[in-house]
Amino acid sequence: MLYVSTRGHADRKHFCEILLEGLAPDGGLYLPESYPKVNEAMLAKWRGLPYHALAFEILSLYIDDIPAEDLKAICRKTYTQDVFGSAEIVPLKPLEEGVYLEALSNGPTLAFKDMAMQLLGNLFEYELARRGEELNILGATSGDTGSAAEYAMRGKKGVRVFMTSPNGRMSPFQQAQMFSLQDENIHNLAVEGVFDDCQDIVKAVSNDLDFKRKYRIGTVNSINWARLVAQVVYYFAGYFQATSGRVQAIPEKVRFAVPSGNFGNICAGHVARMMGLPIDKLVLGTNENDVLDEFFRTGVYRVRSSADTHETSSPSMDISKASNFERFVFDLLGRDGARVKSLFGEQLSATGKFDLGADPAFRQAGPRYGFVSGKSTHADRLATIRDTHKRFGVTIDTHTADGLKVARSHLQPGVPMIVLETAQPIKFAGTIVEALGHEPERPAKFEGIEALPRRVTVIAPDVRAIKDFISARCA
């Protein structure tokens, strides 16, 4: 399997060549040249497999430069009951008739980013050892991504993590999760500034090509193809669980509802659907930052300014642009790289938006690709958390509430609706208290983490200071 860039001007590459890269050299994102197709015989064979074996089957369709035995071992080591808390790894919880939550949030940091990042940690360690190289991961986080990256890379040979975050602005639980890590290869940098300052610093360091090369600076952001393909697996696992026990000649269809920000999670659903998994609809839910809902309603994709980006109670979806969206548009436009380059390159930089509303291709987003969308607000979130708690005794987090709220406008009798649960409520306890009047339950292993000793350096929002910090630790 070879990978191409969405902007059409990069060499075709194998999986391990793009594993440690970010953007393609032409500024595009990598996608497989074509989507491998699954048939009914394959689905029947995969249905009973444990999660790690299912992951191997799916990943091996996309990875031809890691020997099968090694890839099998990596999957087995990644998706364990010990790390993800249950034999199913992503268990379904039934709500009302035909509606399920799929728990993607039982990993080490209690958010769905663990599903892919844990695999990425093991793939990085494997590939770096094979090449005899090291990598310094530099990132910016406002919460979930940074902690998932740190828990995936802690103790991994050949990898150091330098994670910047806005000092004092993450939730107390998120700060405790990250800063309590004592691993020598994990470095927390609390920048005296806001999240944008952190991102600007990371960009400035990465744009210094000499520094980047000398210190082998890399990233683990959501545009990494390996993260995306790891996420494809839980769409299959959710489908098998929701349709278990029903033997039918024609495969039953399901719908997925996905709380979305950067379009990473739901893009994996799009890939699963392109592979032939019988997904009827992909229901995209946004919060008040409705860049994607606006696109699917109108065909207009409009990047927001920072002043126009709302701080909400589902903060991991507070985005100004959706960094993985270019992948879907590439498919929607019949894989016309030149057109994608003009839209995401020239047009977005010049005007901050593009409009496909009048394009016949845009009208296929629903009928041909299954996308529908909706938006959820703070009031919707509170109401959905309350209602779910009252009717089912289940406490859901704020992001999952956005997904469930939008899912309920797209139910169809007889078609199971699987809502992806992207985080545990304890991560966003403040809003749960607002909705329910009491704290959510805390998993036992997180008792008292706020009191643990912290390993964090407070640092000025200054590119020089960050570079000096990194170079001092890479001697």
Ligand X SMILES: *Cc1c(COP(=O)(O)O)cnc(C)c1O
Q: Helix H segments across 223-369? A: 225-242, 264-274, 291-298, 325-332, 337-340, 348-351
Residues 6+ away with beta carbon under 8 Å from 168 = 190
Q: Are 426 and 171 in contact (CB under 8 A)?
A: no
What is the closest distance, in whole angstroms, from the C-beta atom of residue 195 to ligand X in the complex? 14
User: Among the candidate windows 183-191, 253-261, 356-364, 434-442, which touches ligand X by CB under 6 A?
Assistant: 253-261
Helix, coil or strand: residue 373: strand
Residue in 72, 113, 156, 375 annotated catalytic: 113
Closest CA to 150 of 103, 111, 188, 200: 188
Please say if 113 is a catalytic residue.
yes
Query: Residue 243 or 262: which CB sits closer to ligand X?
Result: 262
Site string for ligand X, 347-376 (x = CB under 6 A): ------------------------------
What is the closest distance, in whole angstroms, from the C-beta atom of residue 142 to ligand X in the complex? 10
What is the closest distance, in whole angstroms, from the C-beta atom of residue 422 to ligand X in the complex? 3
Pick out residues in 89-118 that bind ligand X (CB under 6 A): 111-113
Select the residue interacting with ligand X from 261, 370, 416, 461 (CB under 6 A). Answer: 261
Instruction: Please state the three-class secondary structure of 19-58 as a single string.
Output: HCCCCCCCCCCEEECCCCCCCHHHHHHHCCCCHHHHHHHH
Q: Are 191 and 199 in contact (CB under 8 A)?
A: no
**Which residue's CB comes closest to ligand X?**
264
Query: Residue 264 or 416: which CB sits closer to ligand X?
Result: 264
What is the closest distance, in whole angstroms, from the C-beta atom of residue 176 to ligand X in the complex? 17
What is the closest distance, in whole angstroms, from the C-beta atom of residue 472 to ligand X in the complex? 31
Query: Residue 126 or 225: which CB sits closer to ligand X?
Result: 225
Site string for ligand X, 373-412 (x = CB under 6 A): --------------------------x-------------
Q: Which residue has tokens 């091996």?
A: 60
Residue 432 — left, alpha, or beta (φ > 0 → left; ψ -120 to 50 → alpha)?
Answer: alpha
- The answer to whether 289 contacts ligand X (rule: CB under 6 A) is no
Residues 6+ away with beta carbon under 8 Å from 391 = 95, 96
Query: Residue 125 or 397: which CB sits closer to ligand X?
Result: 397
Sheet holding 279-286, edge to edge: 92-94, 99-103, 417-421, 254-259, 279-286, 371-375
Q: Which residues bind ligand X (CB under 6 A)?
A: 111-113, 144, 222, 259-265, 316-317, 399, 422-423
